[in-house]
Structure 1
Amino acid sequence: MFLVLVMLLSSWLKVNLLAVTLFLLIMKLRRSTLGMPSSEVRVIALYTVSNQMMGDVKEGMASSDKPEIVERETKEKKHEEGDKDEEKGGFIEKIKDFIHDIGEKIEETVGFGKPTADVTGIHLPCINLERADVVVDVLVKNPNPIPIPLIDINYLIDSDGRKLVSGLIPDAGTIHAHGSETVKIPLSLIFDDIKNTYDDIKPGSIIPYRLKVDLLVDVPVFGRLTLPLEKTGEIPIPYKPDIDVEKIHFQRFSFEETVALLHLKLENKNDFDLALNALDYEIWLADVSVGCAELSQSTKINKNGISYFEIPITFRPKEFGSALWDMIRGKGTGYSMKGNIDVDTPFGAMKLPISKEGGTTSLKKDGDDDDDEVC
């Protein structure tokens, strides 16, 4: 029985030596692509063969464990057969332990290890009244001598346990051997969807969020691994400011050209500060455009606060027609204003719309002490 076992082992080694040779040749051809030294290629080849040997030994043990029905003539014959089985089992166990030791040495030599990941940044490249575009930076480090594929990325953003957005990014790329990559995860929050789903989330508020990311990678030796990540923070639900024309101060009046200052009130209805950098606007009196411009204006508006500033306008009253006489007689005329403001916030830069419709104003006589009033 021992001789038969040796012959089987010898035959197995011949076949697998050929497999080793072919494997080394293939790995040598791929070495330039992988950028791996030849020593590491040989070690990986040995590791692969050792795994195959382990599988074959296990298979052989499984087949040898099947009971055989034989007739025993004497008790002495039974004892002899038992001794041979013990000898056979001990020999296979030694081979198994030897291959296992080889596998451990290969793992130590090659240096296979689990990759690591960390959220290094969360950016808001665009945020307005409709949506917030979010980019999550995840740094993935690969300590292994071969590239590893990033199979899937699962992400979820919730607020107080309520889902805001979730998704899956398949085939997210490859992490180079002994390298690191910053993987960018783009996603968008649609504010109308959030407000329609959760009534208590109001425009202008700041809500807490929790970001959960699961990275699925495929690593030799370890197989498929899931790297869970989590990050918390806050995100705003912006609301447009209110703007009103408090009064109009006419600096020079004539039918050909009139110069005036608009005194504006800007109310911040958000739970965060606004640092006003610029505004563009167009204003209409009696449905006639009296001016549009882009101005650089530096003003801080505290959260839920009010700020006042002035902008100049120049117009020709004769273009108003009968509406001018209504203004002179004190009957008033309607005005409207539309535009945008560029602001900095704790969450990044925003461009917010401003608008006012339905206001009225009247023109007072020359020499009056009060400024022209706006209602």
Structure 2
Amino acid sequence: MKQIILSKWRLFAAFTGSLLLSSCALLQDVTQIQAPRVSFEDVRYTGISFDAIDFAVDVNIHNYNPVSINFSGFDYQFDINGNSFLTGQQDYAFSIASMDRTTVQIPVSINFQDLYNTVSSLLTEDQASYRMAGGVSFDVPVLGQLRIPFSKSGKFPAVKLPDISVNSLRVTRLDISGADIALNLSIANPNAFELLLNRIDYALQINGRNWIQGVGEQQTRIAQNSSAPISLGMSLDFVQVGLTLYQILSGQNQVNYQLQGSLDVGSSLPLLQQATIPLNRSGVLNISR
């Protein structure tokens, strides 16, 4: 009988000891719980066009805990030239395993038209200053909800559309069979980087009538904050387009015009190598001979 009781006590002692060891191990795990280690990379451009500029911040997260933790999301405020311009918040939940690491990207997109409507002084400036402040949030066992803040600042180019002017229509040859004309344009580059005009697709109407469609493919470099003249040479066949155009070119000094099409341009910015800009101009045009 005593032997049976002794055996039971031994079993109880072994169970209690095992439970105490497990509790100590769990307590040790709990005391080791810490906030994840987080590093924020510099803000980088991911895309630039004449419409918008896209940014991203890469957040590197390393969970050194003996247990998994949960990423909850991020928030940010984007200030430009000291003005609050954009805020964002994203709930983005996923688990990060013990001793694991991952990278989360925080994207931001700035529309230039919205930017210039908000900060009109940038219309005459080449660059904008920004400050991006925010935080990433976690749900960590024992510690609960944590938010780790960040702040980044820098500058980005204030990209603006080139300004296209239609200056004059010059007649270089005129006879009963046809005419050679030159449509003289100028393109102003208001940016702090070089533009490269690769191609112009155009359709010209004069006094409400279709005159000609064509393509100009002479490459033209337009330096920063400067303008360049562009001449589109055209040949008209009066047999095809009618003698009314002969009467216009020989007798009128001004005409109503509409010029539609597009410009294919590049730039010296690495992320703005190609863009298509719509062309739509109309008004009164002087004819020179």
Q: TM-score range by the shorter chain?
A: 0.7 to 0.9
What is the alpha-carbon distance in structure 2 between the residues aligned to residue 323 and residue 228 of structure 1?
69
Structure 1 unaligned blocks of 5 or more: 1-9, 21-44, 51-101, 365-375
Q: Is the 8 A contact 1:245 1:264 kept in 2?
A: yes
Whose strand fraction is larger, Structure 1's or Structure 2's? 2
What is the alpha-carbon distance in structure 2 between the residues aligned to residue 170 and residue 16 of structure 1?
42
Q: Of 343, 347, 366, which aligns to 2:266?
A: 343
Choose 1 or 2 for highest CA Rg.
1
Cα displacement (A) at 1:212: 1.8
Structure 2 vs 1, CA of residues 139 and 160 (structure 1 numbering), >3 Å: closer, same or farther?
Answer: same
What is the alpha-carbon distance in structure 1 between the residues aligned to residue 184 and residue 70 of structure 2?
61
Letter in 1 for 2:58: V
1:357 match: 282
Structure 2 vs 1, CA of residues 120 and 336 (structure 1 numbering), >3 Å: closer, same or farther?
Answer: same
Letter in 2 for 1:140: N
Cα displacement (A) at 1:208: 1.0
What is the alpha-carbon distance in structure 2 between the residues aligned to residue 185 and residue 278 of structure 1?
37
What is the alpha-carbon distance in structure 1 between the residues aligned to residue 199 and residue 152 of structure 2?
34
Whose helix fraction is larger, Structure 1's or Structure 2's? 1
Q: Is the 8 A contact 1:278 1:297 kept in 2?
A: yes
Q: Is the 8 A contact 2:53 2:112 kept in 1?
A: no
Q: Of 194, 201, 206, which aligns to 2:127?
A: 206
- The TM-score normalised by the length of structure 2 is 0.73
Q: Is the 8 A contact 1:135 1:184 kept in 2?
A: no
What is the alpha-carbon distance in structure 1 between the residues aligned to residue 176 and residue 100 of structure 2?
74
Q: Is the 8 A contact 2:59 2:106 kept in 1?
A: no
- Tell which has more relative contact order, 1 or 2 (C-alpha 8 A, sep 6+): 2
Alignment of 1:65-84 (within 5 A): none
1:166 match: 87
Query: Which whole-Å deviations, capped at 9, do the CAs of 1:208-237 have from their partners, x for residues lacking one?
Result: 111123111234465443232222222344
Letter in 2 for 1:115: R
Give SS of 2:121's match. coil
Q: Is the 8 A contact 2:171 2:288 kept in 1?
A: no
1:241 match: 162
Structure 2 vs 1, CA of residues 237 and 103 (structure 1 numbering), >3 Å: closer, same or farther?
Answer: closer
Structure 2 vs 1, CA of residues 123 and 312 (structure 1 numbering), >3 Å: closer, same or farther?
Answer: same
Structure 2 vs 1, CA of residues 147 and 254 (structure 1 numbering), >3 Å: closer, same or farther?
Answer: farther
Cα displacement (A) at 1:331: 3.1
Q: Is the 8 A contact 1:263 1:309 kept in 2?
A: yes
Cα displacement (A) at 1:335: 2.4
Structure 2 vs 1, CA of residues 181 and 309 (structure 1 numbering), >3 Å: closer, same or farther?
Answer: farther
Q: Of 101, 116, 129, which aligns to 2:38?
A: 116
2:188 match: 267
Query: Which whole-Å deviations, capped at 9, do the CAs of 1:40-96 have from their partners, x for residues lacking one?
Result: xxxxx8643x2xxxxxxxxxxxxxxxxxxxxxxxxxxxxxxxxxxxxxxxxxxxxxx
Cα RMSD (Å) of the superposition? 3.9
What is the alpha-carbon distance in structure 2 between the residues aligned to residue 291 and residue 18 of structure 1?
92
Give SS of 2:225's match. coil
What is the alpha-carbon distance in structure 1 between the residues aligned to residue 210 and residue 250 of structure 2?
19
- The TM-score normalised by the length of structure 1 is 0.59
Cα displacement (A) at 1:138: 0.9
1:225 match: 146
Aligned pair count? 273
Alignment of 1:167-206 (within 5 A): 167-175=88-96, 177-202=98-123, 205-206=126-127
2:223 matches 1:310? no
Structure 2 vs 1, CA of residues 335 and 255 (structure 1 numbering), >3 Å: closer, same or farther?
Answer: farther
Cα displacement (A) at 1:169: 0.6
2:6 match: none
Percent of paired sites with the same residue: 20
Alignment of 1:294-309 (within 5 A): 294-309=215-230
Letter in 2 for 1:360: L
Structure 2 vs 1, CA of residues 169 and 321 (structure 1 numbering), >3 Å: closer, same or farther?
Answer: farther
1:125 match: 47
What is the alpha-carbon distance in structure 2 between the residues aligned to residue 218 and residue 309 of structure 1?
61
What is the alpha-carbon distance in structure 2 between the residues aligned to residue 204 and residue 274 of structure 1?
17
What is the alpha-carbon distance in structure 2 between the residues aligned to residue 208 and residue 125 of structure 1?
18
What is the alpha-carbon distance in structure 1 between the residues aligned to residue 83 and residue 232 of structure 2?
44
Q: Bigger CA drift: 347-356 or 212-221?
A: 347-356
Cα displacement (A) at 1:153: 0.5
Cα displacement (A) at 1:360: 1.4
Cα displacement (A) at 1:164: 0.8
What is the alpha-carbon distance in structure 2 between the residues aligned to residue 259 and residue 135 of structure 1?
49
Cα displacement (A) at 1:18: 10
